[in-house]
Structure 1
């Protein structure tokens, strides 16, 4: 039973309750605007906006992690867009934040469909603008799946297409298309949740599947998180802020954790789309996704790993919300503003992760 709880709270560690510190020291910027986008099944997707809404030069779309929601990116825009010319967007994924199905796992096909609908919404309202997608944890896992999913893979542009269209920076590049189809120019995957079933201990798999089948509505309370000692961040003010945020999902049914595990398993079989400009960032002190899971992901992939990799020594799971977040944010900014036609292809960081 304890093994199951450790696993569950490793996934839910973003809501560790540390209440003795001053949460005001970490205060992400509230969204400038909240738009309610109607999905293809008529459900509402809350879409939060920060930054330049009138004629922005680029769109940064963020996809949040498990138990989190879109506002978890509110602290990033100032660091990623020093010129104040971009519009950052993030949406509450189905089952999280302010969605009507809060606390229910939608399934990754529905989640992919929501991402598809949000990208179409962006393409219709900002035609021709470059889009850069940032996924964190579960959001990065969904991003991996989306790069290869038949419904969304065409949105993720390869560098060969980009080279023939322009030789400009991502902050100024506009696609040559005249229609509203969105074009994702680059993707950033922060601490991707790639802890597949095959990389978990057998007893962990057995207990989770047993609980999700027999007691799918059994809810795990966040009061146990601190006792298990799993920390997503070493910044106590971040943990304090998250513990007090009413939109963080705290009581999680086992069915949601099993659904997340299915998504992670699918993502663990995939690498960023070949030829698509991507950056993967991993911390060596990630206490949520174990290093063994990252190593298993890199070892069993049949795709040639392309793009750039950053492994931060002693970096925690919440790479942009930890004590060493400044270095990560600078790296992300440099990646977004570097020349779009220049694709670096680093080897998988097996040695840095001590695989």
Structure 2
């Protein structure tokens, strides 16, 4: 009764406020995109902070890494150092609305995020024309990679790596959750949520989580309209399962408390129906949502490196065998 009363009051508020969740898209395309030392300059002139981890010698492969929701490019610092030591060049940038990118805390729209990624892929391929380029997306970044790969304008890449991609689509949420989100987004889109009181464990790496809590560039309070935009993105990524083709490695932790198993496994079943030979799924028994930064993160780094090398029949950790067992695959 209490929830119904709250929803009724908020619906009435909508009729009087006329608010709508906003998207803050880029401006006009007035220059060529450029890849600088510490900046990715987009076609509309936005300067997105860029980090890189380069091997001492000419790289044998390149990874473009996309961070998760409310995070920024620093997420890839330790993994990037490892991959560069293995001869793999790595790039990561602050996406619009996150880190030190423009319009902090505001949602730029799924199309904008995928267009930015496409532009950077073109620039990296120009810099390394003879090297295979891989896309790696963590959580929200994974949803962006999935969506971008489903679009006609996406440049060819050697493969994609999805680390606990954000796939919690509305179709897999309870009605009261989608209803409340819609109501808030259309009545109080500016309302800021902090997540206090929500008891979920994102990682077993407590020192890393505490460091994120102290980091001023990690967003702690989120506008409802931004959550609404993220949910739109997750819808699109979830519904792209059957359209996702090409060499793909997907990583998921059995202890993930951020992206539930139901939407993830539902996505995987449809994802693996088409060209399963191109797709590798790894499920880590002791893995949390932040697989690349968990205490056992080096295990995932080694699996990714082995997959890029295309040398083993199985991943070193055996997480692909675990996935076949859990998903009941032959």
* Shorter-chain TM band: 0.7 to 0.9
- Shift, 1:252, TM fit: 0.6
> Distance between the aligned counterparts of 1:236 and 1:63, measured in 2?
22
The match for 1:235 is 205
The match for 1:66 is 69
- Shift, 1:57, TM fit: 2.8
- Shift, 1:272, TM fit: 7.7
CA displacement 1:105-124 (0-9 Å, x = unmatched): 00010001100111122123
CA displacement 1:295-332 (0-9 Å, x = unmatched): 23235559526310101113100001112222212211
The match for 1:263 is 233
Report how many residues are paired: 291
Say if 1:347 and 1:151 are closer, same or farther in 2 by CA, change over 3 A: farther
Match of 1:313 among 259, 264, 285: 285
> Distance between the aligned counterparts of 1:288 and 1:305, measured in 2?
28
- Shift, 1:69, TM fit: 0.5
Conserved? CA contact 1:58–1:130, under 8 Å: yes
CA displacement 1:80-122 (0-9 Å, x = unmatched): 3444x33210011111111111110000100011001111221
- Shift, 1:228, TM fit: 1.9
SS at match of 2:235: helix
SS at match of 2:114: helix
Conserved? CA contact 1:233–1:322, under 8 Å: yes
The match for 1:25 is none
- Shift, 1:58, TM fit: 2.2
The match for 1:35 is 38
- Shift, 1:273, TM fit: 6.0
- Shift, 1:339, TM fit: 4.5
The match for 1:211 is 184
User: Which moves more between the two structures, 304-313 or 196-205?
Assistant: 304-313
For 1:94-105, what aligned pairs fall within 5 Å after superposition? 94-105=96-107
CA displacement 1:26-61 (0-9 Å, x = unmatched): xxxxxxx95222212222222211123874332111
- Shift, 1:137, TM fit: 0.6
For 1:65-214, what aligned pairs fall within 5 Å after superposition? 65-83=68-86, 85-152=87-154, 155-156=155-156, 184-214=157-187
State TM-score, norm by structure 2. 0.80
The match for 2:326 is 352
Say if 1:353 and 1:213 are closer, same or farther in 2 by CA, change over 3 A: farther
Gaps of 5+ in 1: 5-32, 157-183
The match for 1:7 is none
CA displacement 1:257-283 (0-9 Å, x = unmatched): 010001001111123866511100111
> Distance between the aligned counterparts of 1:191 and 1:333, measured in 2?
17
The match for 2:295 is 323
Conserved? CA contact 2:63–2:134, under 8 Å: yes
SS at match of 1:89: strand
- Find out whether 1:335 has 2:315 as its counterpart: no
- Shift, 1:347, TM fit: 10
SS at match of 1:188: strand
Aligned CA-pair RMSD: 2.9
> Distance between the aligned counterparts of 1:270 and 1:210, measured in 2?
26
Conserved? CA contact 1:63–1:135, under 8 Å: yes
